[in-house]
């Protein structure tokens, strides 16, 4: 193997550095050229009355803060949405939605904004900002500059849309993050937005009430207009956390709702115990009435999670809809919160499942290849005829965190006798391990309830 002289090494290092510098300049130059090419289209859009920005601002009011839109007080009645029919939001009394990205959603941002505007909805638009936990390196000046220019292009494209309410720059940048330079990059984007778009405030959404992140933002991203928090069971502790730290600034709560799967009790083999849809609905109402409503002078906006459906530990943990489209009781609660009255027809209420006479907290352990009964209690406010669907799946082995995509375990068929009955007989699998029995209860009015119970086959 050849050994290089010190002077040769210095030359090679210089050439590598020069090449990298040239690459950086080329990337930034190309992006700037694209922006210049797009500028006339931007100017044309600004002259279009259908795309005229409505100014949004935060003002001091009666010892707290208030959000103004078009000079008028604006109370956010919002939900995080998975791009289902926006009409359902309007039908239940909402006036706003939030997204997690501009370009990576289920439909293009322009289409979403136009549809929202036509329905009288505003949008707190998620602006892509890479997370350290997904491999982004905030020490890499080239990648940071590229991300900056991508954000700039998105801001230029959507800054004048009348549906735009707030820019949410990044989602949970503090989660599993160690490099404080992320907040330097955040502040650079905030300053860019302030220069290009004086009509819309900027925020970033933090995972929980993170005092370390708040201090870093204060030091490294002082231009950020306000901070947002994402809290589940922890939302009920937010007033205490704020009082302890003396935090006096306005904030959004950009995710809240069901108790998180990391916050609940677990079985002896580590399976999280999920609340029923009725228990979740009660938690939604409690969270709003005890925290968001009485502290609205500081909590100037909130978005309930999730106006849709997703697989995260289970297919029912966070979604307010079933994957088949039925609404659950949590939507009844939001209808009540947003309108001051309950919907004309309400979802069924359910108790926890009893499997072999036991509930999940009893650490249900069963023999393989044996038959056991399972049932639950159901009530319906409207006395609608009730139907049932029982489903068996293996316990999810997914190890993803932070809401990252998970695969849904397959249905295990043929082990439930009469799976549409109110009470069923389950033939347990012969393979030892963790399983979960689900039941879905329907009222025939596009409403449903759900419950599940983890059990272990020994």
Q: What is the pLDDT of residue 292?
A: 98
Query: Do 317 and 271 touch, CB atoms closer than 8 A?
Result: no
The answer to whether 93 touches 82, Cβ cutoff 8 Å, is: no
Extract the tokens encoding 314.
Answer: 């289970």
Q: How confident is the model at residue 49 (pLDDT cuts 50, 70, 90)?
A: low
**What would the pLDDT profile of 14-28 be if each residue is shown by its tens digit?**
343 444 444 444 443
User: Residue 39 — pLDDT band, cuts 50, 70, 90?
Assistant: very low
Residue 229 confidence class, pLDDT cut points 50, 70, 90: very high
Q: Can you tell me the distance from the alpha carbon of 77 to that of 338, in angstroms, rounded to the nearest whole number?
A: 6
Q: What is the pLDDT of residues 55-111, one digit of tens each?
A: 999 999 988 999 999 999 999 999 999 776 899 999 999 999 999 999 877 788 999
* Banded model confidence at residue 50, pLDDT cuts 50, 70, 90: low
Which whole number is the average pLDDT over 165-182? Answer: 96
- Take residue 380 and report the two structure tokens written for it: 């319906």
Give 11 or 322, the one with higher predicted confidence: 322
Q: Please check the confidence at residue 8 and state whether its pLDDT lies above 50.
A: no
Quote the mean pLDDT of the chain. 90
Residues 6+ apart with CB under 8 A from 220: 180, 183, 184, 186, 187
The full set of domains in the chain, from first to last, is 50-339 (3.20.20.80), 349-457 (2.60.40.10)
Query: Do residues 165 and 124 touch, judged by C-beta distance below 8 A?
Result: yes
Q: Which residue has the higher pLDDT, 373 or 41?
A: 373
Confidence band of 45 (pLDDT split at 50, 70, 90): very low
Q: What pTM did the predictor assign?
A: 0.88
Average pLDDT over residues 439-444: 98
Query: Residue 32: pLDDT band by 50, 70, 90 thresholds?
Result: very low
How far apart (Å, rounded) are the C-alpha atoms in residues 54 and 199?
7
Name, in order, each residue with C-beta under 8 angstroms of 283's C-beta and a sequence gap of 6 or more: 233, 257, 258, 259, 275
Q: So what's the pLDDT on residue 324?
A: 95
| Span 222-234, average pLDDT | 98
pLDDT reported for residue 358: 98
- Ordered DSSP codes for 290-331: IIITTTTTTEEEEEEEEES---BSBTTSS-SB-TTS-B-HHH
Instruction: Name the pLDDT band for 2 (thresholds 50, 70, 90).
Output: very low
Closest CA relative to residue 122, chosen from 170, 74, 155, 60:
74
- pLDDT per position as a tens digit, 129-158: 999 999 999 999 999 999 999 999 999 999
Across 95-109, 236-250, 276-290, 299-313, least confident range: 95-109
Mean pLDDT over residues 188-209, rounded? 98
**Res. 352: pLDDT tops 80:** yes
Q: Which pLDDT score is estimated for 295?
A: 97
Please say if the pLDDT value at position 4 is more than 50: no
pLDDT per residue over 321-349, tens digit each? 999 999 999 999 999 999 999 999 999 99
Rounded distance, CA 439 to CA 386, Å? Answer: 12
Kindly list the distances between the CA atom of residue 157 and the CA atoms of 42, 127, 144, 146, 230, in Å, as whole numbers in the listed order.
Answer: 7, 12, 20, 17, 27
């Amino acid at each position: 193997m050849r050994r290089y002289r010190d002077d040769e090494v210095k030359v090679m290092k210089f050439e590598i550095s020069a090449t990298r510098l040239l690459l950086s300049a080329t990337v930034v130059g190309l992006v700037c050229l694209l922006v210049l090419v797009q500028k006339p289209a931007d100017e044309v859009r600004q002259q279009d009355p259908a795309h005229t920005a409505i100014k949004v601002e935060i003002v001091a009011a009666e010892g707290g803060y208030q959000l103004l839109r078009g000079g008028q007080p604006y109370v956010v009645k919002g939900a995080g949405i998975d791009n289902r029919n926006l009409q359902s939001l309007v039908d239940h009394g909402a006036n706003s939605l939030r997204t997690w990205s501009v370009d990576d959603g289920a439909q293009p941002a322009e289409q979403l904004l136009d549809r929202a505007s036509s329905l009288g909805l505003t949008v707190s638009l998620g602006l892509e900002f890479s997370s350290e936990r997904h491999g982004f390196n905030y020490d890499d000046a080239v990648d940071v500059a590229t991300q900056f220019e991508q954000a700039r292009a998105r801001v230029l494209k959507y800054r004048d849309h009348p549906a735009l309410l707030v820019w949410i720059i990044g989602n949970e940048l503090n989660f599993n993050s160690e490099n404080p330079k992320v907040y330097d990059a955040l502040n650079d984007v905030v300053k860019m937005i302030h220069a290009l778009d004086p009509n819309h405030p900027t925020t970033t959404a933090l995972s929980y009430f993170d005092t370390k992140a708040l201090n870093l933002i204060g030091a490294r991203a002082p231009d950020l207009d306000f901070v947002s928090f994402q809290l589940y069971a922890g939302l009920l502790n937010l007033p205490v956390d704020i009082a302890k730290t003396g935090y006096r600034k306005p904030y959004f709560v950009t995710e809240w709702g069901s108790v998180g799967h990391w916050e609940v009790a677990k079985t002896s083999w580590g399976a999280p115990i999920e609340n029923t849809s009725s228990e979740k609905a009660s938690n939604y109402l409690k969270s709003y009435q005890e925290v968001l409503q009485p502290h609205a002078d500081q909590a100037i906006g909130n978005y309930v999670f999730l106006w849709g459906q997703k697989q995260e530990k289970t297919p029912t943990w966070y979604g307010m809809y079933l994957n088949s489209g039925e609404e659950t009781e949590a939507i009844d609660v939001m209808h009540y919160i947003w309108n001051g009255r309950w919907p004309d027809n309400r979802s069924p209420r359910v108790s926890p499942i009893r499997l072999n006479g036991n509930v999940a907290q009893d650490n249900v352990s069963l023999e393989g290849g044996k038959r056991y009964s399972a049932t639950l209690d159901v009530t319906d406010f409207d006395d609608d005829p009730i139907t049932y669907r029982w489903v068996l799946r293996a316990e999810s082995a997914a190890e993803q965190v932070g809401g990252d995509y998970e695969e849904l375990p397959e249905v295990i068929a043929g082990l439930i006798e009469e799976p549409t009955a109110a009470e069923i007989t389950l033939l347990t699998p012969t393979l030892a391990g963790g399983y979960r029995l689900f039941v879905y209860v329907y009222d025939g009015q596009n409403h449903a309830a759900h419950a599940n119970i983890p059990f272990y086959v020994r």
